[in-house]
Structure 1
């Protein structure tokens, strides 16, 4: 039991990482980006191509991919999200849904249906582990992913609470019209927030390519995991995203130990239970996010 819980916590680190950009974008622009998973897969392919064809070090491939995807995030806001948001709340959702289909099919056209992985690029890290007392083995890569998720969420929290850009983002999220009266360019701030969100998506895409295989249509499953972690932890809450990812990971790990199909079923059941709890017992449902937030200084 202890081993399953520990593995679930580490798996939750990846879920928090993949959900980070989705939660951040919603908290700032109140937009549910249905292209989130497809963008993560696109980032994974970009890093894969840079690594395989140019033979660049993986860290440099990540830096180049983050820069490229940040520009894509800026353009995504200027060309799609900003314009579609003028037509109401539904149009951005439909726009990002359409964008996800375009990205999926474009990747399929370019790369085919073969699966890819970055496991070869990281060598022993893809399978190596530490042995803990009691015969429990902990993978080095899952620990690295979990630490990265905590560091990234901490950096975003510090940026939001202690920098001028963060204060501008929070002011714009609260009331863009009032923020404009004090000299904040809401259009520019939202574009920068989209660029930041796509940067986190790129990091998540790289770790996805490290820990598993991926193919052009893997984005929908990653979106589902990100959405469930976000809802479980509390929409718009960064530390709640970490809590949601950990809860989802533990549920899936325990479910897999009970039945081969329990991995996904247990996660979906926990998601539905907490979703219903948020509708009827809002104070109880927000407990995970409040516990994590109370334990970490804002």
Structure 2
């Protein structure tokens, strides 16, 4: 029964990893860009929510009303001012640009807030620790369940958006052939800016749950980026539902690993990631890359 409980907790943890990986996978699927500022931007959203809660008394859920549009604007500016221009220098320049941006964000947050850890848990009342008892050995945390449900709704909503709306179809078309879509009246630059804005909204949601479920500090973005990258690769970078599966696999591996050894939490997750990556490379790296090119929105 103990192992069953650990698997369940790992599945719920996977919901958070899917949240944090969703925007990273979405940007890669659309623009073939690995955003190394992804984790730092999530922490930025977490700090914004903390300021609204601490200084203005706003619930973190109410604070999202203000933070998510701000994150969308940041995404739009990120694409128009950084990614679009740096892409002219080749595939590596946008990655280096986002790496530099992450350093700037981390150090600005450190300068403003210091090294002390923060959390939104004190502003959630009992949600941060309440749970439902399945039996004497298995408990389901309410916040963990909410996180997992949010991941499913967000990924499902993005999937419907990509397949049912004109903008979603324009994003898919731009992802497939950004040079040709102009012939049918699609402005690739505007579509990519809109896609980045959407990705940053998902990052804002992930940052909110990061702050609600754990503590964070100005340099917490690095570990979150690693978890997001591992979940995205395990599930298939660019695949939205694959991101959820990858997050669950990573979460279950970490949860079971923690039962084997105190250090097993991180080691087991990294080991699964490396095993999946190695298996895909051994079965044909070219095929893997081609699947990534066609996985956007599917």
Q: How high is the TM-score relative to the length of structure 1?
A: 0.94
Q: Distance between the aligned counterparts of 2:235 and 2:180, measured in 1?
A: 29
Q: 1:79 aligns with which of 69, 78, 81?
A: 81
Question: Which residue does 2:270 correspond to in 1?
Answer: 268
User: SS in structure 1 opposite 2:124?
Assistant: helix
Cα drift, residue 256 of structure 1: 0.2
Question: Which residue does 2:210 correspond to in 1?
Answer: 208
1:180 aligns with 2:164: no
1:60 aligns with 2:31: no
User: Is there any run of 5+ residues in structure 2 with no aligned partner, and where?
Assistant: none
Cα drift, residue 54 of structure 1: 1.2
Q: 2:8 aligns with which of 6, 9, 15?
A: 6
Residues 49-198 of structure 1 mapped to structure 2, 5 A cutoff: 49-198=51-200
Distance 1:232 1:119, change over 3 A: same
Question: Which residue does 1:42 correspond to in 2?
Answer: 44
Q: How high is the TM-score relative to the length of structure 2?
A: 0.94
Question: Which residue does 1:245 correspond to in 2?
Answer: 247
Question: Which residue does 2:20 correspond to in 1?
Answer: 18
Cα drift, residue 134 of structure 1: 5.0
Maintained 8 Å contact 2:45/2:208: yes
User: SS in structure 2 opposite 1:133?
Assistant: coil
Judge which range, 58-67 or 15-24, deviates more.
58-67
User: SS in structure 1 opposite 2:179?
Assistant: helix
Q: 2:238 aligns with which of 236, 239, 252?
A: 236
User: SS in structure 2 opposite 1:33?
Assistant: coil
Cα drift, residue 177 of structure 1: 1.3
Q: 1:224 aligns with which of 223, 226, 236?
A: 226
User: SS in structure 1 opposite 2:139?
Assistant: strand
Q: Distance between the aligned counterparts of 1:246 and 1:53, measured in 2?
A: 36
Residues 277-292 of structure 1 mapped to structure 2, 5 A cutoff: 277-281=279-283
Aligned residues: 289
